[in-house]
Structure 1
Amino acid sequence: MAGPRKHSRTGCVTCKVRKKRCSEDRPICNDCDRLGFTCVYLPKTSNRQVLSRYKAQVEQELLGKKNHRRVDEDEVALDGEIVSLGEDPYLSQPLADPLMSQLDPVGVHLYSYYRTHLAQIISIAPTRQNYYLQVFLPMAHQHAGILNGIMAWSAHHLSITTENGEGAEQQRDSSYLELANKYTLKSLERLRSEETNSETFLWTLAQVLVLCAAEICQGDVKKWKILLKFGAGLIEKNVGSDISKLLSLRSSQSTMPHLDSRTRYWLLANFIYHDIMCSQGTFFATEQYRKVLYQQEQETPSVSTETLHLDPLHGINRPILLYLGDITNLMRKMKQSSLPFNKDHPQFREYMEAAHDLEMKLHQAVPNVTDLKAYRETSSDNDLCLHLFRLMQTAALIHLKTTCLKYSKYCLEIQYLWTLLSDRLDLVLGTKLEGSLCFPMFICGINCMDKEQRDLVEWRFNNIMKRYKCYNFQRARIIMRKVWNHENVDVSDLRSDSVSSHSSDNSEFMFDLTNKDWYDIVDEMGWDISLPKVSICHII
């Protein structure tokens, strides 16, 4: 017969208040993770007065949650508890702890802005998978570098005060911009001074990822890649070339709390998505990334897969995003040689086989059943997520065919795919998933072949920029317009000619063997661009 349950003296405050046994997982225990509660641990040197203050604030949060619980079609049922997406527990006031107590009123405002607004709108996944709240926020309570990075991110977002358009970059709130620079510098100073070892490097990696996201959010085209490269170096230094080892990493006694497998998975997944969406190629092989992200397919997964499927950045689109990384890597290989890429190129057969293999895989790609199930729990989102998946699939096919397979955008097949992409954009534009449209809108834009199509794409950019503080949309449009300006033909006169030419098998319009494409334009500009969802933030 089992003995009586004992309450741990070192468990989290929330479990103490709820009189539940705490698993003591950090940065968030099992019960707080499962039920969506804020999880805060007492500092080792705290006294009874500090404990009383913590308990009072936890009780206030739990009472507020109980009184404001709402049941509607957007609520998610988790083990008998109802967690309303509209009344998320993170919307309460921040809990006090040693780091938070050092913040001035401006710092508290920036922290609260991240907690109540920014982290909510970054994620397109249901609340339980919003790791910007579930992982980064608890870590910020225990690491000053992460906390300062979060406040810098908030300040960058708050500094964008006008609708994006021509000249919008010069119309930023200087006071918030100054705050963003201040907290970025403080975070970087921690990064420089902190001794990183195998026991603490994951906390440093989290700090780097937050800073990276903050830079991408403001439309940076260089510094974010330097930060990501630093993060790649941390991973390689501590786990070697097999990055999946990070998931099973076991640390001994450390100055920082041990991170559970879910937290390690999220940190690595967040790094992967930034890397995949880079225009310069990936730091690690995409097969390594598949090994990490598809734990459910491993014979002996390094981490429980029950809650790891859905990513807050891209929802069910993970298969497509990995193929986009493959496309960029293949395109960069083609461009490395000084020889023109044609049938006489030494790697012609190898690269063409790889491109056709990617094309086949893209056609066969389907959403993960477990991923999709998370959206079925929220009723109306299911169809919308499927629309977004097909849209991303179509954009990736156009991208592959026009870059690696050298299809001309004027050929019938690309224009057919362009029509599908355009129609599917309209299904998602204006919905809560529209923040994921930066990449497909860019692909749609650079493959326009006449003024009518260009005007439609320009209207879509203007439309979404009315609702979003998003410098990545602005960057994408700048590159798109440079592609248009580079074209040495009047596309408005070519539409009818291109159709007849293709129908008579004229390869002049079926294939584009010219050397310059949007990758070359980006390289000439000296930009390292990233087009992920993380940089796209809705105007509150």
Structure 2
Amino acid sequence: MISTLSFGHLPPGAHARLSISSSPQSSMSSSSDSPMDTPTFNSNETSLPDTQTEPRIDSRLGSDEIVPKVEERELLLADVKPEPVSDEPPISPTEPIRVRRGRGRPRIYPPRSPTASSKATKARSKTGCTTCRKRKKKCDETRPFCLSCQKNNIHCEGYKPVELWKSGKERAAEARRQSLDIKFELPPLMEGVENDLDRVLLQHFASRASCVLTLQGDQPTNPFTKILLPMALKHEGLMHSVLCLSASHLCSLSPSQDYEDRQTFHRGKALQLLNQDLARHKTGGGGTMIYEDSNVAQILIHLLHSICDGNTSGEYRMHMMAAERIALTQKSQNPEFQTLFDEFFYYHLIASRITSLDGTEIPMMEDFNLPFQVNPETAALIGVSDGLFGFISKISNLRRKIRARIDNHLDPTMDYEALIAAHAIDSALRAWVCPQTPGTARYTVSMLYRQATWVYLYRTTKESRPHPFIKGAVDDGIKYINELPAEGAIQSNVLLPLFLIGCAAFEVDQRLEINRAFSGLMASTGLGNISFAKEVVDRIWELMDADDSESWDWEKIINGKGWDFLAT
């Protein structure tokens, strides 16, 4: 009997196959030590399961046959076979997985599909418009305004700006940087002075602009810094007027868009506040308007602004009319301010007659003095306090009468009354005594005004032709101009006499000196009306050279150009 015992086929490297063959004799003496009893390997074997690790008894062999235990050896990497590669294409992530249904009755609660369980939840969009997000509606995200809001007739609030993501370190660095950049602006110290440029304008007014409007260049005696500036510190409207005047003067010296913008701003604010103040004013007896000193000062500043700005549209007349009503109806309780107002108002009122065709006569006293008194030592202008403007006013009135006779073709143009008036003015002018100290700049400019007044009288009553008399008068006037300091407050009063003497310069060498004086005056004062005065003088010279009889009437020339300005 041959019995075959074999170990089942084990994984490679785990254990070998073993087969035992024996005869009946050998089975009876299995415990002998004969070599014949040694088990031999045979190809006919029976495979044992891989999981069998314990010895078992084969029922076919009887109770004495025992299957020995086989120990597993260590698994080597080289013994592992690679997984077979499938020829089928991989499953697409978007293609649902087909699960084979099991047999039998379906469950009451079937399991969820792997596709549904693995599908990520869609987050809410954060890029919609603000209105749709508030309403919790779907937004089509049309820019700048979504169609959904337009379709529902709802105001679309638009989209929030995109914020770039920043790390915590970047946000902390930005916060530190912003904390270092924080600057707290100080509030304005004075009403009306709002920024750094306004502070520059205020400083310019105190140090430069106020000096070219008055003979008092020194700060302690300058009426603008002594009287008007303290008033401006308490009145916002007057402060805006002061800054407007300063910006206008700076624009004449060095044109700048910033200066022009601030000039326009302060002018608008000043006029607005002035109108508000006038609307609140109480009326005195008889319904007369009573003006406060600050409002009177505003009117005076706006009058001077038309000079600095070089306005030729006659803007100054509106302020002149208001100042004239004030001068005739009320007086200030501050004597210093009243003197300042009277002097500046009458100076510009009489000077305006030299460059305009206004036929209104200025009432003068018989002694050619103005209806108020100004101390010549403290006078801020020349001609008003010493009586010279009384002569100029009389000459302006005489000039209008002669023009009316010429326009009406009356002969002679110088009638008896005109001759008597001219003789009286000439006699009084020769007897005039300068109240200033000889040798001073004030004395020189006063004598210049006297010379220009006589030239004004000559050009009014005589034919417009060269003559030794007028040549000598113009030469003397040029000498006075050359004696004046080229810089300083004294130049503020030179334009009016320079204009009158220039309109009488028939000689070429005289015109060279006049041109030089105009250039120096423009450089030292920067007033905007100087260039227009010079243009009129150039036109007069052209008519002189053409032997035109109308060269004496510069008022008509100015009016023909459509201009109306002050040569002061």
TM superposition score normalised by structure 2 = 0.58
| Identity value in percent | 18
Judged with a 3 Å threshold, the aligned counterparts in structure 2 of structure 1 residues 529 and 406 are, in CA distance, closer, same or farther, namely: farther
Q: Partners in 1 of 2:387 and 2:479 — Cα distance?
A: 22
Correspondences of 1:331-350 after superposition (within 5 Å): 331-336=399-404, 339-340=407-408, 343-344=411-412, 348-350=415-417
2:380 partner amino acid: P
After superposition, residues 23-38 of structure 1 pair within 5 angstroms as none
Q: What is the aligned counterpart of 2:263 among 180, 183, 190?
A: 180
Per the alignment, residue 232 of structure 1 pairs with 324
Query: Which region of structure 1 is more displaced relative to structure 2, 309-318 or 353-362?
Result: 309-318
Greater share of residues in helix: 1
Distance 2:237 2:192 in 1: 15
> What SS does the aligned partner of 1:160 have?
helix
Unaligned runs of 5+ in 1: 1-95, 163-171, 240-245, 250-258, 296-306, 491-511, 533-540
From 429, 444, 461, the equivalent of 1:362 is 429
Cα deviation, residue 214, structure 1: 1.3
Return the letter of the residue paired with 1:477: K
Aligned partner of 2:499 among 437, 442, 445:
442
For 1:47-446, list aligned pairs within 5 A.
Answer: 99-100=190-191, 103-125=194-216, 127=218, 129-162=221-254, 172-194=255-277, 195=279, 196=281, 197=283, 198-221=289-312, 222-236=314-328, 239=329, 246-247=330-331, 259-278=333-352, 279-280=355-356, 284-287=362-365, 290-294=369-373, 310-314=378-382, 318-336=386-404, 339-340=407-408, 343-344=411-412, 348-368=415-435, 372=436, 382-403=439-460, 405-428=461-484, 430-432=486-488, 433-446=490-503
Report the Cα offset of residue 102 of structure 1.
6.2
Structure 1 pair 232–315 and aligned structure 2 pair: CA distance change class (3 A):
closer
1:521 corresponds to: 557
Would you say how many aligned residue pairs link Structure 1 and Structure 2?
366
SS in 2 for 1:440: helix
Q: Relative contact order: is structure 1 or structure 2 higher (C-alpha 8 Å, sep ≥ 6)?
A: 1
* Alpha-carbon offset, residue 315 of structure 1: 7.7
Q: Could you tell me how far 1:269 is from its partner in structure 2?
A: 1.8
181-190 vs 125-134, greater mean Cα deviation: 125-134
2:202–2:243 Cα contact (<8 Å) kept: yes
Conserved 8 A contact 1:406-1:513:
no
Larger Rg: 2
In structure 2, relative to structure 1, the CA distance for the partners of 1:479 and 1:291 (3 Å cut) is closer
Native 8 Å contact 1:145 1:191 kept in 2? yes
Distance in 2 (CA, whole Å) between partners of 1:266 and 1:283 is 23
Alpha carbons of structure 1 residues 132 and 336: separation in structure 2 relative to 1, 3 Å: farther
Cα gap change, 1:276/1:441 in structure 2, threshold over 3 Å: closer, same or farther?
same
**Aligned with 1:457 (options 510, 514, 532):** 514
Whether contact under 8 Å (2:244, 2:264) holds in the other structure is yes
Structure 2: any 5+ residue segments left out of the alignment? Answer: 1-186, 284-288
Q: Distance in 2 between matches of 1:266 and 1:466?
A: 27
Distance 2:269 2:191 in 1: 15
Task: Provide the rounded CA distance (Å) in 2 between the counterparts of 1:199 and 1:398.
Answer: 41
Q: Shift in Å at residue 338 of structure 1? A: 6.8
Alignment CA distance shift 1:344-1:333 (3 Å): closer
Which residue of structure 1 lines up, in the alignment, with residue 24 of structure 2? none
Deviation at 1:190, TM superposition (A): 1.8
Q: Is the 8 A contact 2:370 2:387 kept in 1?
A: no
DSSP 3-state at the match of 2:245: helix
Q: Deviations over 1:174-214 (max 9, x none)?
A: 21012111111111112222224454344322111101101
Cα shift at 1:216: 0.7
**TM-score (structure 1 length as normaliser):** 0.61
Relative distance call for 1:365 and 1:190 in structure 2 (3 A) is: same
- Measured in 2, the distance between the counterparts of 1:129 and 1:352 equals 43
1:136, 1:290 → 2: CA distance? 27
Asked whether the 8 Å contact 2:350–2:362 carries over to 1, the reply is no
Query: Which amino acid in structure 2 is aligned with residue 141 of structure 1?
Result: L
For the residues of structure 1 that align with 2:307 and 2:558, how far apart are their CA atoms? 16
Separation (CA, whole Å) in 2 of partners of 1:261 and 1:317: 16
Q: Distance in 1 between matches of 2:400 and 2:245?
A: 31
Could you tell me which residue of structure 1 aligns to residue 167 of structure 2?
none
User: Deviations 1:418-470 (Å, cap 9, x if unpaired)?
Assistant: 12112222111525323322122222322222333323322332333333312
Aligned-residue RMSD, C-alpha: 3.1
Cα deviation code 1:464-510 (max 9, x no counterpart):
333331222212111001112234627xxxxxxxxxxxxxxxxxxxx
Between stretches 133-142 and 282-291, larger displacement belongs to 282-291
Amino acid at match of 1:210: I
**Structure 2: how far apart are the matches of 1:292 and 1:389?**
20
1:233 and 1:315 map into 2 onto residues whose CA distance is 22
CA displacement, residues 348-394 of structure 1 (integer Å, 9 cap, x when unaligned): 222222222111121111223xxx3xxx6xxxx94322222211111
